Structure 1
């Protein structure tokens, strides 16, 4: 059994001004068939896991490209085409293969390509023909498209947000593909368009219960997999939005019935599953008067999440913390190359005037000028990121008046792990307030530390007014813009 594997991913915020270029992929790492060996705890973690599954069964692995980039604007056309074509060339050289398994995102768009994953899968199908099973693991913030569907034998989306189940979903798809190669199953898929746009955390009810419900259906005879693609709200492409699909063993009627049933159940939850979002001052009103063993208040700066394509340098929350004189705070990571450079030049212990953030446009706010002390400098810093390691680049810890501790990073990325801060010496348990530039992936590590977790909206790059997102390519027939886009269908 010979498996061809590859990993190509980025999440495209089509409203972001800056395109995604080759340098954005190189910042994380571009590996040409050796990521599982050269970077097994970072970019190559999933391919290392998948390689282990195949080889444990006595199979052969042909590993192709592995690269990913932080979310941003559309990928430049020559960049996408070069990355895609490397995978296709490797596949041609590897023929014959028994199966193809890919880790993609599902919301990658490039100049001239609204559906990069579908384009890649269709070209792979042309090469391997109809008899070789092709499967994709997708981020749950994917756009499930007809081209993906028609070009693949099975698609599995992550179920958890934050994404703590990547390896589990990889095992799920591997079993389906392995059994397909052996002739034990014949996967067929039916999809239900939920016609919803939003952001839904699986860390609380009723979404926790809906994940359990999908898993319950997966235990039914004949059902191979159930996925809910939440969609990516800031991706303006024609087939965007939440969709639920069911993969069965050669039973299209069962797949269609279950997809419609589960889709209707998810639709019925729509008013109960959205994030509870606070404005800046309402969130800061929750800061405890004194620190105790209950831990800090943890606030997510959701509109400035680099994981959604934002710049990671907005100052709206920082400015109000300073203006209100809130003490004993840790906040970050700010993507600010200039500030990092100045602090590195000044050195640890230097007391300097520093202009922080507000550099990438109106969604970043205005810079904040502070008198700071450089407390620590760590070169090539990394953070834990849902079972892997993610680079933050050269990082600096500066402290301003009133115990305001600020983390500055030279690589734009969201805050995942506690060690983003603690790796520079910034303690968190003794803080009154911790602010992270993330939407939800921080939750796995920060929630156990927190007395309370809050989600804060600002005039940042990611609008959470889903009804008002200015789509041009996606149709307007979705909830919450339309009260009932299904009319009498459900």
Structure 2
């Protein structure tokens, strides 16, 4: 028997502390794909969609890609934008009904103006369309804030297990294999959700190090027990002021909800027992710069307060200012400033001139006047073929300029916000990583997959901003209580 499986998703990590909303153009500047364009973009990508397609093709199941919309993390999605994408997606689904199953790709931390639990909302609409008897299985980002509605609207959800997210294709394949077994009558997946009363500090979410290393070792033991089909830990996304914000566990068992719940509860008990290890320590900018002197170079400085992968504006200038003041280090930093790109583009490579760069400092926007030399102007496109966080192949920074400063720095200025998930972002623009004492990447853990091969030293820097590492400094109105480390548990 041949099965027909629809594939669809709306994917966004929404930072509700960012005042600029996410609009339709942000999705069109990201990925807004329909039909076979989805297959073309992701068939060979290190992304969950590629893993899903690989399994379905291998099993001789007809994959029907419908719509996949993804935007760079940013502010809350406007109601108009979300409703437009949702209506288009459901219209595409209507065209192919009936189907035997759906593979879905939510992020798990999407927020729209009307629906704080945006992913739960669109998953429930898909469930309404196909009916209760049709399997709906999918993936989640490791940073999902998981709601009961997300779980109630699906048969099984599988989250990434690695941060940086270099296992996305494997998780897509895992979810597709769960679906294949269900369709063939081999299993009856049921899932249990436990929302742990704890939020893991963002810099403690690097899965190759402690405390996550031991956490996942224990999780793997539980996942190996008979009858357990999948086990996922969602660390949560602390920059979304929603009820679901925080860590959660999803366990999928074969026809046994009680076993799934009991297994999740065991893992919850482990997390709460070790709760203090998930808080972490913070390095400020002065102490981080001092560490450069005694460290093997180049040093990767992770600008946590301007984590573009968490909705940061990509223009935090705090570390740049510190470098310019010290006059001591050769450094590289990337800044999003479309106007500076336009102004610099009026010159020719080799020209020296004063350039104004708008950056976000400790006290808000400020103008930095820098004496620079223009090195090059490019169209800002590049590709990444290796497994990297996000699993994307094609990247667009918009028109891009590279300049050097009198103090020994190199600044890349872009027209679009781009997450620092690929070393090709530098190399493709003629920037040689080994030439620097320090390289600044605006992220927390995600850039490590790309930069670790060339940066023997990695320092997470506690900078101010909309993705600052200390979540307790944000004012929340909707989060769960009690929630450690805000309250004792």
Shorter-normalised TM range: over 0.9
Q: Which residue of 1 aligns with 2:333?
A: 331
For residue 125 of structure 1, give the secondary structure of its aligned residue in structure 2.
Answer: helix
- Distance apart, 1:269 and its partner CA: 2.4
Q: Which structure 2 residues correspond to residues 36-435 of structure 1 after superposition, within 5 A?
A: 36-40=38-42, 46-197=48-199, 198-199=201-202, 200-288=205-293, 294-332=296-334, 334-358=335-359, 364-382=364-382, 384=384, 385-386=388-389, 387-389=391-393, 390-435=395-440
Q: Deviations over 1:17-42 (max 9, x none)?
A: 00000010011131121333443379
The reply to whether residue 468 of structure 1 matches residue 473 of structure 2 is yes
Q: Which runs of 5+ in 2 are unaligned?
A: none
For residue 345 of structure 1, give the secondary structure of its aligned residue in structure 2.
Answer: coil
Q: Would the aligned equivalents of 1:118 and 1:151 in 2 still touch at CA under 8 Å?
A: yes
Tell me, in whole angstroms, the C-alpha distance in 2 between the residues paired with 1:374 and 1:42. Answer: 37
Tell me, in whole angstroms, the C-alpha distance in 2 between the residues paired with 1:96 and 1:164. Answer: 34
For residue 353 of structure 1, give the secondary structure of its aligned residue in structure 2.
Answer: strand
Q: Would the aligned equivalents of 2:49 and 2:172 in 1 still touch at CA under 8 Å?
A: no
Q: Would the aligned equivalents of 2:11 and 2:105 in 1 still touch at CA under 8 Å?
A: yes
Tell me, in whole angstroms, the C-alpha distance in 2 between the residues paired with 1:383 and 1:396. Answer: 18
For residue 159 of structure 1, give the secondary structure of its aligned residue in structure 2.
Answer: coil
Tell me, in whole angstroms, the C-alpha distance in 2 between the residues paired with 1:174 and 1:420. Answer: 32
Q: Which runs of 5+ in 1 are unaligned?
A: 485-490
Q: Would the aligned equivalents of 1:383 and 1:416 in 2 still touch at CA under 8 Å?
A: no
Tell me, in whole angstroms, the C-alpha distance in 1 between the residues paired with 2:246 and 2:322. Answer: 34
Q: Cα 1:44–1:435, aligned 2, differ >3 Å: closer, same or farther?
A: closer
Q: Would the aligned equivalents of 2:6 and 2:64 in 1 still touch at CA under 8 Å?
A: yes
Q: Would the aligned equivalents of 1:158 and 1:165 in 2 still touch at CA under 8 Å?
A: yes
For residue 367 of structure 1, give the secondary structure of its aligned residue in structure 2.
Answer: strand
- Distance apart, 1:192 and its partner CA: 2.0
The farther-off stretch of 266-275 and 74-83 is: 266-275
Q: Would the aligned equivalents of 2:127 and 2:136 in 1 still touch at CA under 8 Å?
A: yes
- Aligned-residue CA RMSD (Å): 1.9
Tell me, in whole angstroms, the C-alpha distance in 2 between the residues paired with 1:138 and 1:188. Answer: 16
- Distance apart, 1:365 and its partner CA: 4.5
Tell me, in whole angstroms, the C-alpha distance in 1 between the residues paired with 2:179 and 2:210. Answer: 32
Q: Cα 1:275–1:24, aligned 2, differ >3 Å: closer, same or farther?
A: farther
Q: Cα 1:95–1:42, aligned 2, differ >3 Å: closer, same or farther?
A: same
- Distance apart, 1:362 and its partner CA: 6.5
Matched residues, number? 479
Task: Compute the TM-score of the two structures, normalised by the length of structure 1.
Answer: 0.93
Tell me, in whole angstroms, the C-alpha distance in 2 between the residues paired with 1:163 and 1:451. Answer: 20
The farther-off stretch of 350-359 and 97-106 is: 350-359
Q: Would the aligned equivalents of 1:468 and 1:481 in 2 still touch at CA under 8 Å?
A: no
Q: Which residue of 2 aligns with 1:33?
A: 35
Q: Would the aligned equivalents of 2:302 and 2:460 in 1 still touch at CA under 8 Å?
A: yes
Q: Deviations over 1:193-215 (max 9, x none)?
A: 21112322212123123223323
Q: Would the aligned equivalents of 2:48 and 2:173 in 1 still touch at CA under 8 Å?
A: no
Q: Deviations over 1:127-165 (max 9, x none)?
A: 111111101211111111111111110011111111111
The farther-off stretch of 105-114 and 205-214 is: 205-214
The higher relative CO (CA closer than 8 Å, separation ≥ 6) is in: 2
Q: Would the aligned equivalents of 1:6 and 1:47 in 2 still touch at CA under 8 Å?
A: no
Q: Would the aligned equivalents of 1:301 and 1:455 in 2 still touch at CA under 8 Å?
A: yes
Q: Cα 1:41–1:96, aligned 2, differ >3 Å: closer, same or farther?
A: closer
For residue 61 of structure 1, give the secondary structure of its aligned residue in structure 2.
Answer: strand
